[in-house]
């Protein structure tokens, strides 16, 4: 079968009725190439001396894994010279990384979690890269963190790469969600699914149940109803999955539906939540909405939240539209 490569898909997107420009095409190709390099490192595992701790901490005060640091460096090196970016920001860096003056600057900002799901790296469970593309504000040549503080509705593109049994890049340019699988024999991402759609209903939920005693009442009520199954108010049984790699859980939901929840709880309330707004919740929210799903904090649409800090955290409830709306309704009832 003669599949469409990512490069061809992007060239055709440049010619489409709502065209992307050459810089955005280059940006996506560069990020995809970096994800191929990350995939190779991840797949080496213990043979590549890339497992274990790096001996440093990130801005969240979390111990960095060697692969966290390596993935971050791969994305920085890949994106510095192309002339498509004004700056980059990452979970692994306190402040934005400006494009060195020896290279041309572009009009886009790239913000990413270079390797999400770090707790799973050393136990060989799927992990991933999450990225979001914003426009650099007009006239800004040396962006500060403030220039990244844009609501998710301003995203130009978003995507993730999940390093699982196969390496899969999922991308939205604002016109649907498309899936590309890495063909290692030719070394290219090839289109394997167009226009992914999330079923509006589901019988599968994803949440870390060990936090149950810390949840707010609306979430307690919602999960209790799911656990009550067919004898309860929902009248049917539900299944549960929790990979503890957001990319893996979201990819399952994009593939067969479901609801993913990392709600506000007493443990993470003072931080505003567990997951990060700019490089986890917003890109995943964009992708999920483009696939017909919904993404909420429980109290508002994630993509409409005005960020106040670069590494801001936020509650995340996303996936099958009717379930997300039910959870939001329970929050509204108080």
**Per CB under 6 A, does 218 bind ligand P6P?**
no
Which of 135, 33, 118 minimizes the C-alpha distance to 84?
135
CB of 243 to ligand P6P, least distance (A): 7
What three-state secondary structure class fits 299? coil
Among 56, 119, 141, 306, binds ligand P6P (CB under 6 A): 119
**Per CB under 6 A, does 117 bind ligand P6P?**
yes
What is the total count of residues that contact ligand P6P (CB under 6 A)? 10
Pick the closer one to ligand P6P by CB: 14 or 119: 119
CB 164 within 8 A of CB 201: no
Pick the closer one to ligand P6P by CB: 71 or 245: 245
Element (H, E) at 333: helix 321-333
CB of 292 to ligand P6P, least distance (A): 22
- The strand pairing partners of 70, in sequence order, are none
Torsion of CA 137, 129, 97, 148, to 10 degrees: 30
Torsion of CA 184, 187, 193, 199, to 10 degrees: 70
| Residues in contact with ligand P6P, shown as a per-residue x/- string from 27 to 66 under the rule CB under 6 A | ----------------------------------------
For ligand P6P, which residue has the nearest CB?
A: 246
Which of 159, 175, 160, 255 minimizes the C-alpha distance to 14?
175
CB of 316 to ligand P6P, least distance (A): 8
CB of 77 to ligand P6P, least distance (A): 24
What gap in Å lies between CA 247 and CA 250, rounded to an integer?
Answer: 5
CA 277 to chain centre: 10
Among 14, 144, 208, 306, binds ligand P6P (CB under 6 A): 208
What three-state secondary structure class fits 223? helix
Among 29, 92, 116, 147, binds ligand P6P (CB under 6 A): 116
Pick the closer one to ligand P6P by CB: 91 or 289: 91
Q: Output the six-digit token pair for 250.
A: 């979201």
Pick the closer one to ligand P6P by CB: 120 or 155: 120
What gap in Å lies between CA 118 and CA 244, rounded to an integer?
Answer: 9
Among 71, 72, 118, 132, binds ligand P6P (CB under 6 A): 118
Residue 138 DSSP label: T
CB of 237 to ligand P6P, least distance (A): 23
CB 306: neighbour CB atoms within 10 A?
10
CB 78 within 8 A of CB 101: no
What three-state secondary structure class fits 143? coil
| Residues in contact with ligand P6P, shown as a per-residue x/- string from 235 to 274 under the rule CB under 6 A | ---------xxx---------------x------------
CB of 274 to ligand P6P, least distance (A): 6
CB of 183 to ligand P6P, least distance (A): 26
CB of 244 to ligand P6P, least distance (A): 4
**Torsional class of 89: left (φ above 0), alpha (ψ -120 to 50), beta (otherwise):** beta
**Per CB under 6 A, does 124 bind ligand P6P?**
no
Pick the closer one to ligand P6P by CB: 18 or 210: 210
| Residue numbers at the binding site for ligand P6P (CB under 6 A) | 116-119, 208, 244-246, 262, 275
């Amino acid at each position: 079968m003669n599949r469409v490569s990512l490069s061809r898909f992007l060239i055709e997107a440049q010619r489409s009725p709502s065209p992307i420009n050459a810089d955005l095409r280059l940006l996506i190709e560069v990020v995809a190439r970096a994800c191929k390099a990350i995939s190779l490192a991840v797949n080496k595992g213990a043979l590549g001396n890339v497992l274990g701790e790096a001996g440093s901490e990130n801005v969240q005060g979390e111990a960095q894994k060697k692969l966290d640091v390596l993935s971050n460096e791969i994305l920085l090196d890949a994106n510095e010279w192309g002339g498509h970016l004004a700056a980059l920001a990452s979970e692994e860096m306190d402040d934005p990384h400006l494009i060195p003056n020896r290279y041309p600057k572009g009009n886009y900002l790239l913000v990413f979690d270079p390797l999400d799901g770090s707790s799973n790296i050393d136990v060989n469970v799927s992990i991933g890269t999450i990225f979001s593309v914003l426009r650099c504000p007009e006239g800004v040549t040396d962006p500060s963190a403030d220039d990244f503080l844009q609501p998710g509705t301003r995203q130009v593109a978003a995507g993730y790469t999940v390093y699982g049994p196969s390496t899969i890049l999922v991308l939205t340019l604002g016109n649907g969600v498309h899936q590309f699988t890495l063909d290692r024999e030719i070394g290219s991402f090839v289109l394997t699914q167009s226009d992914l759609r999330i079923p509006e209903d589901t019988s599968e939920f994803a949440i870390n149940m060990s936090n149950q005693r810390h949840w707010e009442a609306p979430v307690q009520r919602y999960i209790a109803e799911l656990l009550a199954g067919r004898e309860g108010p929902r009248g049917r049984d539900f299944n549960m999955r929790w990979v503890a790699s957001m990319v893996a859980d979201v990819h399952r939901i994009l593939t067969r539906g479901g609801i993913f929840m990392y709600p506000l709880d007493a443990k993470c309330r003072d931080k505003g939540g567990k997951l990060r707004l700019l490089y986890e919740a917003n890109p995943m929210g964009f992708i999920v909405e483009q696939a017909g799903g919904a993404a909420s904090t429980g109290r508002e649409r994630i993509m409409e939240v005005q960020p106040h800090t670069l590494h801001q955290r936020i509650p995340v409830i996303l996936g099958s539209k009717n379930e997300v709306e039910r959870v939001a309704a329970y929050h509204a009832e108080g």
